[in-house]
Amino acid sequence: MRSADFKMQQDKLLVFIVVLFITSLSVVIHGAENCTQYDGIRETKKTTSVVNGDKSKKQQLTEEIIIYIRISTVMGVTWYLGFIAAYVDHMVLWFIYTILNSLQGFFIFIAFNVTNSVKAIVTSSKKKQTSSKTRTIDTSLSTKD
């Protein structure tokens, strides 16, 4: 009897994984198909091309695909956890899912605003702060003498 229950659990898990994979694949394919149809993104890029410089169609398409991958990853991870929590039905997983789902806006902010240029600005400002602290300590030592 126990073997039959285990087999049934394995079958349910397999069906769950297949459905999850097909759903994820369809979302990626749908996003890639619609990538060329979103005129709003393209029109915005055209109007800001003076600031950003001219880019080839391939570069624009690559940037758009990266945007779709970022948003799919941020939103998909929490939903995968939600599906797993529903399947396992464990209270801790539900709490983790709820917390991560409520922080999606924060994760989206991080995914789209923490870029290499922002990292460079933060690290350069930290270097300036440490060098100014060093000078302050040096001057305070020299005034005490």
- Give kind and range of the element (H or E) at residue 71: helix 57-88
pLDDT digits (tens, 9 = 90+) for 93-112: 889 999 998 998 898 888 88
The domain segmentation of the chain, as residue ranges, is: 2-114, 116-145
Q: What is the pLDDT of residues 33-91, one digit of tens each?
A: 565 555 566 666 666 666 656 667 788 788 878 888 888 888 888 888 888 888 888 88
Name, in order, each residue with C-beta under 8 angstroms of 16's C-beta and a sequence gap of 6 or more: 83, 87
Rounded Cα gap, residues 134 and 136, in angstroms: 5
User: Is the Cα torsion angle 28, 32, 33, 35 positive or negative in sign?
Assistant: positive
Q: What pLDDT is stored for residue 99 in this prediction? A: 92
The answer to whether 41 and 64 have CB atoms below 8 angstroms apart is yes
